[in-house]
Amino acid sequence: MGYKAVYPRESIDGHRAFISRRRELRPSGEYRTPTDEEWQEFLGHFERRKVALGDCGRAYQTPCIHENACIRCALLRPILPSAPG
């Protein structure tokens, strides 16, 4: 077994190389700039996911199977109360 020290710059360069390789495999149409309407729809998705207990962590354009029974949902990101003082 061997050991290799990894430095932050090396990690960043490795990750960027990985992303570049992945992008070469995907259709270039997926990397276009969205229209204003598409961008507003995307941002609106997250505004509509705010619930009384916190935020819903569902992915963009995925349906909710819990019908707003968020307390039981594993995707609920609860808002933690602030510490007094």
Q: What 3-state class would DSSP assign to 65? A: coil
pTM for the model: 0.43
Gap between the Cα atoms of 68 and 45, Å rounded = 15
Instruction: Give the per-residue pLDDT at 69.
Output: 67
CA 78, 79, 83, 84 dihedral sign is: negative
Instruction: Give the per-residue pLDDT at 50.
Output: 72
CA 29, 30, 33, 35 dihedral sign is: positive
Q: What is the mean pLDDT of residues 61-68?
A: 73
Report which of 34, 30, 51, 52 is spatially closest to residue 43, judged by C-alpha positions: 34
Residue-wise pLDDT tens digits, 1-56: 677 777 888 888 999 999 999 988 888 877 788 899 998 988 887 777 777 777 77
* Token pair belonging to 84: 């007094």
